[in-house]
Each structure stands twice: as C-alpha cells, then as structure tokens.
Structure 1
Amino acid sequence: MIHIRRSLVGLGLGAALALSACAPGGSSSTTDESSAPAPGAVKTDAAALGDVTLTVWDQEVRGGQEKQMSTLNAEFQKKYPNITIKRVSRSFDDLVKTLRLALTGADAPDVVQANNTRSQMGEFVKANQLVNLDPYAVAYGWDKRYPQSVRNVASYSPDGKTFGSGSLFGMPQVGEVVGIFYNDAKLKTLGINPPKTWAEFDAALATAKSKGEVPLVLGNLEKWPAGHVFGVVQGRFTKADDIRKLGFGQSGGNWVTPENTKAAQALVDWVDKGYFNSGFNGQDYDPAWQGFTKGQGLFLIAGSWLQADLSAAMKTDVKFMLPPAPEAGGTAVTTGGSGLPFAITQKAKNKDAAAAYINFITSPEAMKVLADNGNLPVVETAAQKAPDALATDVFTAFGTVSEDNGLVPYLDWATPTMGDTLGATLQDLLAKKVTPQQALEALQKDYGDFTGQ
C-alpha cells in the first residue's frame, strides 16, 4: 500500500508467510535480540519518564487522517504533560523518499510510520534501524489485542530476511480495503442500479460512456494508483491464493497465466473504449479523486483511506462497494490490509516514551477516535459506530471481505523492486506502449529474479 500510499499486506490471511529472501542494500549490520529491550527493563508509566520530546514522522495528511492524529496527539500530551510531541507530517511519497536518509542522520526521528515493504521496513530491520517491539507487545498486551494476522504485516525475522513472521517492528492503526466508490446520484440519473456482477459493472461503464459521462476516474502520474485498479480487476479472474503467492513474493507463483492475461487485457479494453478520464496517465492522484468529488466521473477504484474526504465533500451522493465476486464464482477478492505501522527508531532517545505513545494511538480509545473521524480501525472494528453512511459501507465491506478471506496483498510488496516495476509496467500498459504479454513478462522477471524461479 503502497498507498497514498500504499501498499500494504492483506489481513485475515493467516500466519504462514514464509518469505525467504534478503532485502537489498542498507547497512551490513543485522538486528539481533539486542535490538529489543529486556522484558524486565520496559517502563510503561509514561508520567514517570521525566521531560521528553518525541519527534514523530507520519503521513496522515488528508482530512480524516489528519484530524485523528491531531486529536490523539493533543489527548496524549494532555494526559502526559511531561512528553511533548514534535510532529512532522509528510505525504506518503515524501515520507518514502526522506525516511531512509533520516534514519541514518544524527537527528533521526523517534517514532516513524514505515512502509511494511521489504524495500522500507525490511531494509530498516536488516540495518538495525528499528526497535524490536516484542517486549512492549507483552508489556502493553498488544499480542492479545492485535490478532496474529494483523501483527504479521509488521513482523520480520531479526535479520530482515523473512517477512510476515518473527518479531514485531511496528503497530498499525488503520485497516485498508480497495473497492469501488460510485456517485450514487449519477447512477440514479442514468438509470443504473449499483452493479452486483462483473457483467453488470461492464454494462454500467458502457451506459455511462454512451450518455457522455466519464465511467472511470484515475490519476496515475505517480504510477502506483494503477496497481490498485489492476488488483481489483485481477481478482475478477485470478484465484486469491495465486494472487497471494505473487503479492507475498512466495515461490511457486506465475505472472504469465491466462487469468492474469485476461486482467491485463481488461485494463487495455477500458482504455480502448475510452472509459478513463482524458490524460489519466499524466494526472496526479489527488486532483483526480478531488475531481470525482466535484461530479467528474461515475466510478472511482480506490482505497478506504479516501473515505472521510469523499464523504465530507459528497455527503450521501457517494457510496462504496466491494468488487463483484470473481467470474468463476465465490466471494469478492480485493486488495487490502493495514495502514503504515508506527515504529520506534534505534536512535530514539527515550524508547519507553516512544512505546507509550504508540500504545496510546493504537488503544481501544484511539480506535474510537479513528472511527469518529471516518477512518477504518484495523482492530475492534465491529465495536465502533461508523460516523456516516459512507463509513458504514466501508466498515461493512472490510468486515465482510476479511471474514470471507477475500483480502489479498498489495502486489508491489512482492519484491524490493516490484513497486517500481509494477508502476512503470502498468503505466506503459495503459499507454499501450507494451502488450499484456510483455507487461506480464516484465512482472514475472522481477518476481522470478527474487524468488529464484
């Protein structure tokens, strides 16, 4: 995820994520048990830690995301006036670009949101730049509140080689699910019912185009957004377990299959039929979805992180749905998982204070603040009251696809280089610079080089 990110790992996928490959680059040093404080040395009484200033880097910059972080930071400092939060909030892209260098500097932040990918968190773990949180998980009960499937998304072996198991190196706040936002008012005007099957979705796109509407909104200048669109379409044709092998970088998968070819061809067909907004490959992500809030387009394939902003702008005119069930039958398959976890850097001056902060912003009370501001809590979701109709749609969709084991990982998590490969390849595919076969062969090469296949 990578989303707004994002790219993120799917929830409810079990603990068997034996991914055995090294993250490239970084320091030659490796994390060992010394990176974690001794269990008896953990101090959980934040009020007794003396005067502390914590520098926190996050990427919660959009409306609902920014509100929940500002609220929680204010409440934390009110409860613990001895701890001052110095917040640095950056866009996802800026955070990814600057975090690697920041962690090696003399003034490294204390707490950071680190993308779960091997090229980010995995490499930071390998370079001994993040704190092993296992003792804090026991002390604060995170190992009881957070299901193993959620903790897996921020777990690595101490040497950074294995992803999805081992020790905990971060704590996420939010869940994520990619689905289909639609302008319900426009659907009604066009006489279209919300599609329940892929055939109905195809018909809705054709009807919208014939009546002068833009069927699909996409801003793909940053390249990663097309990965979310492809992930949804891939679930139409490809089995969830096959997608998981590819997304987790597990051996035994294959990009060049008839099912993935159908998915790639479907994107090309949408281009050929003029279903996307004009110039989508050269438009930024944010202006594209912001245009959707102003009545441009009928459908927006995107993630739950846009929920609060879309609801604020469109009120009851916008709704959210999971993609239809695969053509082969079964339940919906779509990309999803957790937001970027919060981690403690090895250069944090007071790691106990940093852990107390993470505990506060991931507590049951924090989950309510997240929900109140239109965000999707990654745990205890069912206990929260959605703040509006769109949030209800998203909360319900996340719960349904999680329970049905339909969440699959973000595809750019597969290898340390897959983010760049996937983004560039899909942008070229949508620009018709490469064929579906050539696109899939490029993805297979990246995946195959990593897994040794």
Structure 2
Amino acid sequence: MKKTLVTAMSALLATGALAGCGSDGEGSGSSAAATATPAGASAAPTAAAKKEEAKPFTISLRHVQVRDDAKQRLKMLEDVVKKTEAGVPGLKIELEGLEDKVHRFEKLPAEMAAGTPPKIFDLFGGTDTQKFVKAGRLLDLTPIITELGIKDKFFNLDEFTVDGKIYGLPMAGFVEGVFYNKKIFKDLGADVPKTWDDLLAVSDKAKAKGITPFALASADAWVINMMTNTMWVRTAGPDSVPGFVSGSKKWTDPDVLDAFKRYETLVKKGYFQEGNLGLKYAEQQNKFRNGEAAMLFDGSWSNSALVDPEKSKIANDVGFFNFPAMGGKGDGLINGSYSNGYGFSSNLNDREKTAVKEFIKQMYNEEMQKRQLKESGFLPAMKLTDLSGVNPIVGEILQAANNKQFPAFDSILQAKAREALENGMQELLGGKTTAEKLMEKLQKAQDDANKDNAK
C-alpha cells in the first residue's frame, strides 16, 4: 500500500534533516591528501585531459512548463539548469518547451521508437516508463541516486521502478478532488457534500442562483477524465482499471456504467460551464477564481494560482474536499500518486552522464522541493523537514489526501483505450452519444488494445 502524503509528511517532520545531496566526501581531509600522492594513485590530470574536460558540449532537455500557470516552475527549472551548467565544465543545456500532451503522446513515443529522445525529458510513470524500459531507452538511475544518497528520500518510486531498478524521478506528488468557493457555499446555506445526493443538492442551489455549479473546460479532453476517473473508481473500485487491461473487468459492467450515467446526469442538468467544449484547460480555473463557479474538479497542483491574490478574486475563500461517496466499493479513496517527473536517455556518454548526475543533484533536494511547494503549490515528492510558510489550503489538501490512494487511469490504460475514452467523453458532453453507447464503443477499443498487448 502506498503511503499517503499526509502520513508520510507527518513522519518526515519527526526525522532529521535530509542528507546533503552535495556531500560527496570532498572537504574534510582533502588538504592532507593534497600534500602527497600515495603509491599507486593516479597522477594529476594532464593538460590535455583538463582541456578535454572543459571542451564545450550540449545536452537537450525537454520540459512541459509552457502554460501561463507554469511560469514559476519554469523559472525553477531555469535556475537548476544554471546551477547544473556551473557545476560541469563546458556544459550547455538546451531547453525545449512543449505542450504536455504533444510531448507525451506524440513526439516522445516517436523519438523513443527511433532511439533519438532528448537527453533529459519529462516522463510519466507507470505504463510509459515500462514500455520505454522494455525498449531499452531509459537510463537506470539506481546507482546515481544511491551515490547521491537520495534513494530513500522519496515518498514513493513505484511508478518509475521496473524489475527493482529506478528509471525516473518524480518531481511532485498530487491528489485530485474538488476545490470549492466557501463564500458561495455559505451564501447557499450548503455544507461540503458527503454523498452524491448532497452534491446534486448544492449544484441545484447554485444553478438556481445563476451560479455555475462546476467550472469545466473540456477542449483538452484529458481534463474531463480527472473527474470521471474518480467517479468510476467510486462505483466500480480501484481494481477496475487493471481489470480493463487484463480483461477481467469490462467498461460495460453495471458498476462502471453507473458512474458514466451519473456523469451524464450532471451534463443534462446543466451543471457544467457553458461552452466548455470550446475552452482550454486554463479557462476552468479562470472561471472559478473569478468567483463565477461554486466548484472545480482539478488537481492539487492548481492550488497556488487559485489562492494567489494577484490572480484570484476568491483567494481567501477557496477550500478543498475529496469527491463525495457514491455508494460503491471505491468510496473514500482519492486519486493521487507520484507520476510526473524526469527521465534520462540510456544513450549517454561519460560527460553527459556527469551532467545528468549534476542535474539530479541540483533538482532533487529539500530546497528545490520546498520552493516548488511554496511557489507553485505542487506537493513534494521528497521528504521535507520543514513545511512552514506554505499557503493554508495545502493543509486542507493534505487532510483530503489522508485516504488510500489510487493511480490515475492513464498510467495504466493503453493509448488506444484512453483515446477512445477522451473522444467519447467529449461526445457525451456535446450530447452526441449516451453513456451506454460510449461504454460499448469503449469496450471495443479496449478489446483491440488488449489484443495488441498479447501480440
């Protein structure tokens, strides 16, 4: 069972400080070593060796910090790059920013197939990592993080671990749930919903007052399925997604269909933002932080922008809760994991490996993890010794995260089935299909994907 964020963070506060990633034994005792060269020891580097060491070289780094709400994380990455370049003679890191879906589902798979990925790149855990390891494209990081003394500093590396070896490092943890406008709830006389019926009741009240119950921007289809993923896990349980892949579970099963029929109810009742199919992801956050929606289903990564007084009209009125119970075996669980991070090409020469090691040293430490939490609201992937100075909503998110977690469906589900789900949900929102028809179509795509796996 994965540690929950809150349990792990509580435990870490009782521990000592992180082992300094920069400590590699250089320092105390070095002056004595410098006075004499022991028998059999290597001589000092030759002039030619020093010249080669300083010879300029470039490595590529692909990131996905391209949206307006990712500016702080991009600045953090740029600072890490500068420190990395300063620590490796001759190194120049060439940054390339790309929209995350294009990178993950289009460009990186093509590069992996051709054997030409960037040297450092954004990597998603689970299925993505497993298939790239199988193709021999990812660098085994186990010896590097062991040498740096950070292997045991992460909360969880399961999604980047294959056959006991670690091939990626998560930058942050996340949970997904419901942000809500506390002032709107108070004005409506509504409490945080505990059940599905409670959720419908508060949505009815909001709509009756001319307030959008749920902010939603679904032009980016993945956004829709944050909420649907939680809903079908509520009704069908956390084993449903692995079951789809193994064939022991079907999308057409009554407990799965139940969740999608309830989502269809939300659509028909007009509880979602008007015109959402034409809106990009950032627009749902804009709707919510302008005080025009009662609720927003989103990831914990959104909290920083929602409570930023320079961006949000409701900075002091934002709360967070786990999606309410729906009467199924997945009630109370929360979608959370450590899926997003960095991976590294297996095709590296010695100098490039030195650069990668320095990048990991500069990026994965307490200073940068806490900076990420304070500036961007991303929950840390590493154990921190101090959580002071973070915004208050983090406490509510951690409280909600104090539940058993399940991984996001797209870390397990094959691309063919995922794409069918995304396209089908847009059709459902547009009134072009029904929950029943969608599940039948999706099961056919799942069957095809499973056959491909068997080949």
Please tell me the TM-score bracket, short chain as reference: 0.7 to 0.9
Q: 1:392 aligns with which of 378, 387, 395?
A: 395
CA distance in 2, matches of 1:102, 1:449: 24
Please report how far the alpha carbon of residue 298 of structure 1 lies from its aligned counterpart in structure 2 after TM superposition: 1.2
Structure-2 change in CA distance of 1:406 and 1:375 (3 Å): closer
CA distance in 1, matches of 2:116, 2:331: 48
Matched AA of 1:228: M
Matched AA of 2:108: L
Pair 1:70-2:75 in alignment: yes
Pair 1:172-2:177 in alignment: no
Residue 114 of structure 1 aligns to a residue whose secondary structure is strand
In the alignment, which residue of structure 2 is the partner of 1:109?
Answer: 118
Matched AA of 2:159: V
CA distance in 2, matches of 1:428, 1:345: 38
- Note if contact 1:52-1:82 (Cα within 8 Å) is conserved in structure 2: no
Q: 1:275 aligns with which of 246, 258, 271?
A: 271
In the alignment, which residue of structure 1 is the partner of 2:353?
Answer: 351
User: Residues 354-388 of structure 1: CA distance to partner in whole angstroms, max 9, x if unpaired?
Assistant: 13312431223322122221221123268533611
Pair 1:90-2:98 in alignment: yes
User: Residues 54-85 of structure 1: CA distance to partner in whole angstroms, max 9, x if unpaired?
Assistant: 43211133566442452354256347614444
Structure-2 change in CA distance of 1:408 and 1:110 (3 Å): closer
Pair 1:200-2:198 in alignment: yes
- Note if contact 1:174-1:376 (Cα within 8 Å) is conserved in structure 2: yes
Q: What TM-score comes out, normalization by structure 2 length?
A: 0.77
Pair 1:58-2:57 in alignment: no
Residue 171 of structure 1 aligns to a residue whose secondary structure is strand
Unpaired stretches in structure 2, ≥5 consecutive residues: 5-23, 27-49
Please report how far the alpha carbon of residue 237 of structure 1 lies from its aligned counterpart in structure 2 after TM superposition: 1.8
Matched AA of 2:398: F
In the alignment, which residue of structure 2 is the partner of 1:38?
Answer: none
- Note if contact 1:231-1:334 (Cα within 8 Å) is conserved in structure 2: no
Structure-2 change in CA distance of 1:382 and 1:407 (3 Å): farther
Matched AA of 1:137: I
CA distance in 1, matches of 2:222, 2:84: 39
CA distance in 1, matches of 2:301, 2:363: 17
Structure-2 change in CA distance of 1:69 and 1:381 (3 Å): farther
CA distance in 1, matches of 2:214, 2:161: 36
Pair 1:305-2:304 in alignment: no
Aligned length: 398
Q: How does 1:331-342 map to 2 (within 5 A)?
A: 332-342=332-342
Residue 415 of structure 2 aligns to a residue whose secondary structure is coil
In the alignment, which residue of structure 1 is the partner of 2:224?
Answer: 226
Structure-2 change in CA distance of 1:105 and 1:327 (3 Å): closer
Structure-2 change in CA distance of 1:360 and 1:410 (3 Å): farther
CA distance in 1, matches of 2:330, 2:130: 34
Please report how far the alpha carbon of residue 53 of structure 1 lies from its aligned counterpart in structure 2 after TM superposition: 4.1
- Note if contact 2:215-2:285 (Cα within 8 Å) is conserved in structure 1: yes
- Note if contact 2:64-2:100 (Cα within 8 Å) is conserved in structure 1: yes
Please report how far the alpha carbon of residue 153 of structure 1 lies from its aligned counterpart in structure 2 after TM superposition: 0.8
Please report how far the alpha carbon of residue 11 of structure 1 lies from its aligned counterpart in structure 2 after TM superposition: 5.0
CA distance in 2, matches of 1:347, 1:66: 30
- Note if contact 1:131-1:169 (Cα within 8 Å) is conserved in structure 2: yes
CA distance in 1, matches of 2:197, 2:241: 22
CA distance in 2, matches of 1:53, 1:197: 55
Structure-2 change in CA distance of 1:406 and 1:131 (3 Å): closer
CA distance in 1, matches of 2:3, 2:223: 23
Structure-2 change in CA distance of 1:330 and 1:429 (3 Å): closer
CA distance in 2, matches of 1:115, 1:435: 31
Residue 215 of structure 1 aligns to a residue whose secondary structure is strand
CA distance in 1, matches of 2:340, 2:363: 13
Q: 2:368 aligns with which of 366, 369, 384?
A: 366
CA distance in 1, matches of 2:410, 2:344: 26
CA distance in 2, matches of 1:415, 1:219: 24
Residue 381 of structure 2 aligns to a residue whose secondary structure is coil
- Note if contact 1:131-1:343 (Cα within 8 Å) is conserved in structure 2: yes
Unpaired stretches in structure 1, ≥5 consecutive residues: 1-9, 14-43, 157-164
In the alignment, which residue of structure 2 is the partner of 1:128?
Answer: 136
Identity between Structure 1 and Structure 2 (%): 22
Structure ID, larger Rg: 2
CA distance in 2, matches of 1:78, 1:361: 9
User: Residues 380-410 of structure 1: CA distance to partner in whole angstroms, max 9, x if unpaired?
Assistant: 2685336112222223323x02xxx232432
Q: Which moved more, 1:302-311 or 1:188-197?
A: 188-197
Please report how far the alpha carbon of residue 174 of structure 1 lies from its aligned counterpart in structure 2 after TM superposition: 0.5
In the alignment, which residue of structure 2 is the partner of 1:215?
Answer: 213
Structure-2 change in CA distance of 1:317 and 1:238 (3 Å): same
